C-alpha cells in the first residue's frame, strides 16, 4: 500500500457523496487512507471476510459479485473511478456482503474501518455522507432488481446500450466498457444470450463488432427498452411435440401485418401495450402462418386474410379504416 497522491485525494474527495463534505472533514477522513493496487482478476476482498476498510476506486474497473447457493456467480455491480464500496458492511455484521474483484488493473483508496467509524461518531457531516452513499447503493440495487423483474433480457440489453450513448437520439458510436462475459453477468443473462440479442438488434440498426458498437438511432434503442419484446414471445409446441414455427416467425408476421395495415407498431406498443401482447399471443398460437406469410409475400393487399386470421377483428379496429 502506498500513500495517495494529491491528485488521488482530489479525485476521491470530489466523488459521490464525499463531494459535499467540507475540506476539514475530507482531510480528517482521508488522513490514514492508503492506495491498494489490485491486478486484473485479483480479489480486493471476499464475501464473508471481516470488514476492514471502506474503498473508493481511483483507477480501473472492479466487479462486485456474490456466489449463489448453487455455486453460480451473480454480478451485483460494476465499479469505475469514483465509485465506493463496502459502506453497508461497515454497519451490517462487520463482514463484506460481496466479493470485489478487479476486472482490469486497478488502484483503490482504502480508509480503515475503525477510522471511518471514529469519523462518523465525531463529525455528523461524515455520518450523513456515508449514509447518503449507502442509500445511493440501495437505490441502485432496487433499480437493478426492478430491471431484472420487469424487463426482458432483450429490453435490458437495449437499455444498457442506450445508457452508453451520450445523446438521446440520432446516430452514435460507442465502445463496450467491459468484456461481453461481464456485461452478460451484469444484465443477468448468459454470454450466448447476449450474442443472440446483439444479433436481434441488427435490424434495428445496431451493429456490434467486438467492442465497437454502431447505432443508427439511439431513440430506437430507448423505444426497444420500453416496449414489449417481440423476439421473446413464447414458443408454441405442435400436437406431435415438435417445435412449431418459432416465436420470431410469429412476431415477424404480426409486424408485417401491422405494416401492411399502415399501423405504427411503436405507437400501438405505447398506447395499447396489453392489446399488443394479446395480438402476439394469438399470432404465436395461430395455425395459419403459412397462409399469412404467403399473403404478406404477395403484398398483403388482398382482403382474404380477414377470413382466416384470428386477430382480424382487433387488427381491423387498430387500422385506419
Residues 6+ apart with CB under 8 A from 275: 268, 314, 318
Look up residue 296 and give its three cell numbers: 404478406
Is there binding between residue 129 and ligand SF4 (CB under 6 A)? no
| Residue 15 Cβ vs ligand SF4, minimum distance, rounded to whole Å | 52
Specify the residue, 81 or 289, whose C-beta has the smaller distance to ligand SF4.
289
Give me the least distance between CB of 288 and ligand SF4, in Å please. Answer: 4
Q: How far is the CB of 153 from ligand SF4 (least distance, A)?
A: 24
The Cα 84–Cα 57 span in angstroms is 6
In a 13 Å sphere around the CA of 45, the CA atoms on its Cβ side amount to: 20
CA atoms lying within 13 Å on the CB side of residue 143:
10
* 133 is a site residue for ligand SF4 (CB under 6 A): no
Of the candidate residues 128, 255, 288, 314, the single one contacting ligand SF4 (CB under 6 A): 288
Structural contact between residues 85 and 55, judged by C-beta atoms closer than 8 angstroms: yes
Task: Kindly list the strands in the beta sheet with 43-45, ordered across the sheet, starting from the edge strand earlier in the chain.
Answer: 43-45, 99-102, 62-67, 73-79
Range in contact with ligand SF4 (rule: CB under 6 A) among 116-124, 184-192, 260-268, 282-290: 282-290
Q: What's the burial of 116, exposed, middle or buried (CB within 10 Å: 0-12/13-18/19+)?
A: buried
| Residue 251 sits in the site that holds ligand SF4 (CB under 6 A) | no
Q: C-alpha distances in angstroms, 127 versus 110, 141, 282?
A: 17, 21, 56
Question: Residue 260 interacts with ligand SF4 (CB under 6 A)?
Answer: no
Binding residue for ligand SF4 (CB under 6 A) from 104, 260, 289, 300? 289
Contact range with ligand SF4 by CB under 6 A, out of 22-30, 75-83, 208-216, 284-292: 284-292
Contact range with ligand SF4 by CB under 6 A, out of 91-99, 114-122, 171-179, 248-256: 248-256
Q: Is 208 in the site for ligand SF4 (CB under 6 A)?
A: no
Given the rule CB under 6 A, which residues bind ligand SF4? 250, 253-254, 257, 282-283, 286, 288-289, 292, 305, 309-311
Amino acid at each position: 500500500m502506498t500513500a495517495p497522491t494529491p491528485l488521488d485525494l482530489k479525485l476521491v474527495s470530489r466523488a459521490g457523496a464525499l463531494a459535499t463534505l467540507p475540506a476539514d472533514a475530507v482531510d480528517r477522513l482521508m488522513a490514514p487512507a492508503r492506495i491498494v493496487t489490485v491486478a486484473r482478476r485479483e480479489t480486493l476482498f471476499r464475501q464473508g471476510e471481516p470488514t476492514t476498510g471502506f474503498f473508493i476506486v481511483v483507477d480501473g474497473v472492479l466487479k462486485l459479485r456474490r456466489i449463489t447457493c448453487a455455486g453460480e456467480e451473480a454480478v451485483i455491480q460494476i465499479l469505475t473511478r469514483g465509485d465506493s464500496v463496502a459502506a453497508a458492511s461497515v454497519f451490517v455484521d462487520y463482514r463484506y456482503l460481496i466479493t470485489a474483484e478487479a476486472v482490469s488493473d486497478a488502484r483503490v483508496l482504502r480508509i480503515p474501518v475503525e477510522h471511518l467509524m471514529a469519523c462518523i461518531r465525531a463529525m455528523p457531516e461524515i455520518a450523513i455522507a456515508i449514509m447518503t452513499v449507502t442509500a445511493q447503493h440501495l437505490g441502485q440495487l432496487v433499480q437493478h432488481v426492478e430491471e431484472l423483474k420487469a424487463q426482458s433480457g432483450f429490453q435490458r440489453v437495449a437499455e444498457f446500450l442506450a445508457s452508453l450513448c451520450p445523446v438521446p437520439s440520432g446516430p452514435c458510436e460507442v465502445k463496450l466498457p467491459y468484456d461481453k462475459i461481464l456485461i452478460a453477468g451484469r444484465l443477468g443473462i448468459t454470454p450466448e444470450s447476449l450474442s443472440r440479442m446483439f444479433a436481434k438488434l441488427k435490424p434495428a440498426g445496431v451493429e456490434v463488432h467486438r467492442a465497437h458498437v454502431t447505432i443508427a438511432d439511439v431513440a430506437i434503442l430507448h423505444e426497444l427498452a420500453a416496449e414489449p419484446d417481440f423476439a421473446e414471445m413464447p414458443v408454441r409446441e405442435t400436437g406431435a411435440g415438435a417445435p412449431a414455427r418459432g416465436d420470431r416467425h410469429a412476431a415477424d408476421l404480426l409486424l408485417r401485418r401491422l405494416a401492411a395495415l399502415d399501423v405504427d407498431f411503436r405507437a400501438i406498443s405505447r398506447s395499447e401495450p396489453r392489446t399488443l401482447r394479446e395480438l402476439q399471443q394469438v399470432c404465436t398460437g395461430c395455425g395459419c402462418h403459412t397462409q399469412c406469410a404467403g399473403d404478406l409475400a404477395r403484398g398483403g393487399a388482398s382482403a382474404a386474410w380477414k377470413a382466416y386470421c384470428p386477430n382480424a377483428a382487433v387488427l381491423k379496429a387498430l387500422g385506419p379504416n
